[in-house]
Structure 1
Amino acid sequence: PRLVGADQGCRPVSAAREEILARIRIATGAVAAPEETDAAYAALPRPYRRAHHDPSVTDVVALFAERAADYRAVVERVPEDSLPGAVAAAVAAVESLVVPDGLPAGWLAGLAPVIRLVRDEPPLSAAELDRISGVVTSCAVAIAETGTIILDHGPGQGRRALTLVPDFHLVVVRAGQVAADIADALARLDPARPHTLISGPSATSDIELIRVEGVHGPRNLHILISG
């Protein structure tokens, strides 16, 4: 049989194939792993770098604001008691707003009476959502390193369509929800829930790098960081 890895011991191709298939069978649970295999796997060194930013020496909230703004999101930091006024100012030009179940009512206390608030009950159709100007949500967690917001569609976040169809998305991120790095953020999430990751307004570019916004989501993303 043909040999592979001539400078690393020259194993036959068939032997390498069988080793790969054996690992796949173990990984998929088709066969049990021999004890020596488990021990060898557990003994492998894993000096992975799980974080690039130490929250004790890095202002992760400021870093998140900077990275999110790099994606052309509008980002503001506001005190908790100023949040209703900041929400009202952010949506001043919006005619109608989807309000998901579980959103704190106090956040909307300063809205102008001309803004029409719409509930997603019964669930709005795509055509109905398309006629609504914007949506306001909370979030599950945010990532400072990448400027990313993660929704797990729990209370105050609504189903995924609510944040994909309207042209304007206002997100309230509490300072305590900002994780330094991706690993930290994922550790805070329930893996059984659906997750939507948002890094700036929806945008794409063609082969000539001409940027087009709003192709598969809101053209406008406004982030209020409270606390």
Structure 2
Amino acid sequence: MSATARAGAGRPAPKRTGEPVTSARDEVLARIRSALSDDTPDQSVPRGYRQGRADSAGDLDLFARRVIDYHATVTFMAPDQLPEGIAARLDENRVGRLVAPDGLPAGWTADLRATVLTDTPPLSVTELDAADGTLTTCAVAVAETGTIVLDAGAGQGRRALTLIPDYHLVVVRADQVVATVPDAVALLAVAGPARPLTWISGPSATSDIELNRVEGVHGPRTLDVLVVRADA
């Protein structure tokens, strides 16, 4: 090897002028930037939900059957029977301390034997755990699935009120029962998409990998439903 070659050994090759030097990292980042630079405007997706049949009496009967399938209780009554009916259900289930969300009709809790706990200011988890049950209204109910939906509206309260106490008594008006889940979603969308939704299908339950259903693991062990209709 010549002296000239030895002198140049180990030195980096000179950079070529006018040509940028890129690494594999630079190339990867450039591709990511290119992929994220899509300026295509969002497309509105039409939502054509299937509408249920208009059969109020049939929907109520189906709703009751589905709720009973979940091992919950359903009682039909007229509007003027409601205060007495609420008191009777609470007494039968030995509810001594009842959580009452804001917005419940005053007549529902005026003459109860149970001690009524209001949620203003909010009850603590310890106080909710010490309560025997909760009384609420609902936003909508679904006949085909026996599902009751709460959206934190008047008489429903925050989610913890119906997840911690062991007993939940919910009042469902006949005109709140719709045929299908899409019907319910359409009604809930009118109230606004930002509301917290709680979908209740029977008492709390869970299943293991073999689909063995175990009830009462968490939340209310007992779901009691009062359906209010004029012809009851």
TM-score by length of 1: 0.76
Which of 214, 218, 222 aligns to 1:212? It is 214
Which of 8, 32, 35 aligns to 2:40? It is 32
Partner of 2:95: helix, strand, or coil?
A: coil
- Residue 75 in structure 1 maps to residue 94 in structure 2: no
For 1:87-120, what per-residue CA distance to the aligned partner results, in whole angstroms no more than 9, with x for missing partners?
A: 01110011110010100111224422xx111111
Partner of 1:103: helix, strand, or coil?
A: coil
- The whole-number CA distance in structure 2 between the counterparts of 1:30 and 1:119 is 52
Q: Percent identity?
A: 55
Partner of 2:83: helix, strand, or coil?
A: helix
- Cα separation, partners in 2 of 1:127 and 1:116, compared to 1, 3 Å: same
Which residue matches 2:50? 50
Matched to 1:31, the amino acid is D
- The whole-number CA distance in structure 2 between the counterparts of 1:140 and 1:57 is 17
Matched to 1:104, the amino acid is P
Q: Which runs of 5+ in 1 are unaligned?
A: 1-23
Is the 8 Å Cα contact of residues 109 and 116 (structure 2) preserved in structure 1? no
- Cα separation, partners in 2 of 1:188 and 1:30, compared to 1, 3 Å: farther
Partner of 2:141: helix, strand, or coil?
A: strand
- The whole-number CA distance in structure 2 between the counterparts of 1:142 and 1:158 is 17
Matched to 1:50, the amino acid is R
Count of residue correspondences: 191
Which residue matches 1:167? 166
Is the 8 Å Cα contact of residues 203 and 215 (structure 1) preserved in structure 2? yes
Which residue matches 2:96? 95
Residue 203 of structure 1, CA deviation: 0.8
Q: Select the structure of larger CA radius of gyration.
A: 2
TM-score by length of 2: 0.74
- The whole-number CA distance in structure 1 between the counterparts of 2:162 and 2:132 is 11
Is the 8 Å Cα contact of residues 64 and 145 (structure 1) preserved in structure 2? yes
- Cα separation, partners in 2 of 1:208 and 1:107, compared to 1, 3 Å: same
